[in-house]
Amino acid sequence: MADAALETTDAQQEGRQSARKTWLTRLGLVVVIGGLLWAAWYLLVGRNHVSTDNAYVNAEMAQVTPLISAQATDVLVSDTQAVKKGDILVKLDPANARIAVAQAEADLAEARRRFRQTAATSDSLSAQVQARGADIVQARAQLATAQADFDKARVDLQRREALVGDGAVSGDEVTAARKGYAAARAALDLARAGVQTAQATRNAATGQLEANDALVRGSTIDTDPAVLAAQAKLDSAKLDLDRTVIRAPIDGVVTKRQVQVGQRVAQGSPIMTIVPLNQLYVDANFKERQLRDVKVGMTATVTSDLYGDDVVYHGKVVGFAGGTGSSMSLIPAQNATGNWIKVVQRLPLRIALDPRELAAHPLRVGLSMDVELDLSDK
C-alpha cells in the first residue's frame, strides 16, 4: 500500500512539472511571437510613423473693426451665426459722413469754379496785353509827331537867330521861335515818357498773363491740382460713408461679438471675430526627437475627440514654427542657473486639412486632435 501511494505521489509531481514546463514553453512562445510581431510591425510600420495627441485646431480668424468712429444703429448678426463674405454685420450712424460728403461736393464745385475763373482771367489779360500793344503803337506815333514838331521848331529857331544880326526878324519873332522850340522839346519829352509808360504797362500786363497762365497751363478742369485735391477729399468722404455699413470680410461663423445697438464704437476697436470653418488647420506639437525625419509635404492622418476614430482627416505638413512653445511663451524659460535640467521641447507643426473632409465633418477652433505622420512619404 505504501509503495502504491508513493508511486501515485511521484506521478502527480511529474505531471505537475510537465504541465508547468508546457505552460512555460507556451508562454515563451507567445512572448517570442509577440516580440517578433512587434519587431516586424516596428520595422515595417512603426518606425515610419510618429504621433502626438498634443494638437489643436486653429484658423486665421478675421477680426472685424470699424474704420470710423460712430454710433451703432443696427446689429444684424449674433454669436454662432454663419455669414458669407459681403453680408452686412453692423450699420453705423451715417449723419456725420453725409455732411462730410456734402461739404466735399461743395468744395469740389468751388475748385472747379475757381479754375474756370482763372481760365477766363487769362483771356481777359491776353486782351489787355494786346490793348497795351496798341497803346505803344499810338505812343510811338505821338513820339514821331513830337519829334517832327521839335525838329521844325529847332530849324525855325536857328533861322531866326541867324537873321537877328541883320535885323531881318524882330525880337518878338525870335522870342516866339524860342518859345515854340521849348514847347516842342517838352512835347517830345512827354511823348518819349508816354512810350516808356505804354511799354511798362504792357510788360506788367504780360507778367500778369504769364502768372495766370502758370495756374492753368497744361491742365484741364479735371486735371487741375486744386480740383484733384477737392475730388480726393470727396472720394474720402464717400469712402467714410460706405464704411458706415460694416460687412463680413470672409465666410465663417461669428464669435466674440462685442457691439450692441446704441453703442458708440471707436475706430480700430474690435467688435467681433469671424472664424473661417472651411480654412481650419491643426497645430501639432511634436517632441524634438520625433522630428528628425519630418519634412514639409509629408502626409498626416488626424482624428478628433469630437467624432472619434471613425472619422479620419487627411492632411499635409505645410510648415514648422519659428520656435518651440516654451521659447514663444509670454515668459520664456531661463536656463542660465547651475541647477539646469534638460526638458524635452516641443515644436509646433502646421497641418493643412482637406477642405472636403472639413465640409463633411466641421471642426471648431481649439478642439484637441490626434496627429500621426507617415515618415515613409519622402
271-317 pLDDT per residue, tens = 999 999 888 999 999 888 888 888 888 889 999 988 988 899 999 99
Whether the pTM exceeds 0.95: the reply is: no
Instruction: Give the Cα separation of 79 and 76 in Å (integer).
Output: 11
Using CB atoms within 10 A of its CB, is residue 8 exposed (0-12), middle (13-18) or buried (19+)?
A: exposed
Is the pLDDT assigned to residue 376 strictly greater than 60?
A: yes
Name the nearest CA neighbour of 228 among 121, 120, 112.
112
CB atoms within 10 A of CB 220: 10
- Give pLDDT tens digits for 62-118: 999 999 999 999 999 999 999 999 999 999 999 999 999 999 999 999 988 887 777
User: Which domains occur in the chain, in start order?
Assistant: 62-94+243-275 (2.40.50.100), 97-239 (1.10.287.620)
Determine the average pLDDT of the residues in 239-254. Answer: 94
What is the pLDDT at residue 322? 83
- CB within 8 A of 238, min separation 6: which ones? 101, 104
Name the nearest CA neighbour of 362 among 277, 262, 263.
277
299's enclosing H/E stretch is strand 299-304
What is the pLDDT at residue 189? 78
What is the pLDDT at residue 10? 66
- Give pLDDT tens digits for 184-225: 788 777 877 877 877 777 777 676 666 666 666 666 777 788
Please, which contacts does 18-27 make with residues 24 or more away whose CB atoms are closer than 8 Å? Answer: none
Instruction: Give the Cα separation of 51 and 284 in Å (integer).
Output: 9
β-bridge pairing 62-64 and 272-275: antiparallel
Instruction: Give the Cα separation of 100 and 239 in Å (integer).
Output: 11
